[in-house]
Amino acid sequence: MKELGRILREKREELGLDFDKVHRSTKIQEKYISAIEDGNEAVFLAEIYYKSFVKSYSKFLGLNGDDLLAQYEKRKSESSSYENAAGKSNRGTRSSGEGDLKKLFITLFIASVLCAAFLYLNKNISIFTDDNPERISALEKKKIQLEKMQELQNQKERESKERQRLKEISGEMPKKTEDEDKNKEKELKPFPQKPAHTQAESKPVVPAMPAAVSRNVQSSGVNVPAAAADKRQNDKQELEIVAVENVWIKVDGDGREMFQGTIIKGVKKNWKADNEFIVNIGYTPGVNVYFNGTEVDVNKGAVQDVNRLLLRRQR
């Protein structure tokens, strides 16, 4: 202890002794004498050596070594108590600091979770409330496309019905009953366009007539050679229909109904009448029509692949 070393130093100086004289008398090395007076216990290998040197040095100077060591133990005990109290205080402060740090960490964690939840909910809500097309999902885009296609289809149907109504008013087509319209809607179904080569293959070969004996006979756009017309003047009128696709057909001959229904692809049908035929076609690309052996242009005057033909031999 420094207090003990101070007492020994003052006594040595009072006696006029130096380290060398003390060393020769006590056999204690000068570095240990200096360490005792400085209160530096760390120089000694163990506390027992320190106490032994203090007793020998005190006795040489005429002091009571036991009393000095008793004071040393007392001060050491007081110092230990103070250090323990200080250590507890420091631990308490450290524990309090750690507790505050934990509370701060928990608070920050909760705030982060709430912020993330708010951003997630805000993002999901914006998907349904934002009108920006870039943020609309693929499913919603598909739904919009389907609605537009349905609207276009409805508009076409309305236009078709309006044209049909105008024709009925103008007398071009006989007015149909509600039941007939429903049956036609069931039977008229869209079919794929017929291949270009099919129509070409189905056309009959009509031999060319000499120009000198030919004249045109008009019948809804059908030109019949004069020789054939003269030959058939007193014969029945012939109508032939070849289905290249499934197609709905209605045939009236001389004012009476001869056929109404769907002709299956590849089927050929024939009718005869005295004067004329009225042919209603539900899908013009799916049929070839021949009147008295001559092919009729079924697409002339058609509206959305639906047409009505008046086939009459002109006299």
Summarised one tens digit per residue, pLDDT across range 18-62 is 989 888 988 889 888 888 888 888 888 888 888 888 888 888 888
Task: Pick the closest to residue 311 from 233, 249, 220 (CA basis).
Answer: 220
Query: Phi then psi for 124, rounded to 5 degrees?
Result: -65, -40
What span, in angstroms and rounded, lies between the C-alpha atoms of 302 and 309? 9
Q: Enumerate residues 6+ apart whose C-beta is below 8 A from 43.
A: 31, 32, 35
> Which residues on adjacent β-strands are paired with residue 259?
251
Are 229 and 313 in contact, with CB atoms under 8 Å apart?
A: yes
CA 48/CA 124 separation, integer angstroms: 78
Which domains, ranges and CATH numbers included, belong to the chain?
A: 2-63 (1.10.260.40), 192-312 (no CATH)
User: Helical H runs in 175-219?
Assistant: 178-187, 196-202
Cβ burial of 184 (10 Å; 0-12, 13-18, 19+) is middle
How do residues 157-192 score in pLDDT, each as one tens digit?
988 888 888 887 776 555 555 555 555 555 544 444
Which ranges of the chain does DSSP label H, i.e. alpha helix? 2-15, 19-26, 30-38, 47-61, 65-129, 138-170, 178-187, 196-202, 226-231
Least confident range of 7-11, 66-70, 252-256: 66-70
* Nearest-5° Cα angle at 263, 261 to 264: 140
Summarised one tens digit per residue, pLDDT across range 211-256 is: 333 333 333 444 545 555 454 555 789 999 999 999 999 999 999 9
- Residue tagged 């163990």 (tokens): 46
Beta carbons within 8 Å of 41's beta carbon, 6+ residues apart: 35, 47, 50
268-273 and 237-243 beta bridge pairing: antiparallel
At 201, the amino acid letter reads: E
Please report, rounded to a whole number, the percentage of residues in the chain having pLDDT higher than 70: 67
User: What pTM did the predictor assign?
Assistant: 0.30
Reading the block at residue 119, the tokens are 């951003």
Per DSSP, the three-state class of 129 is helix
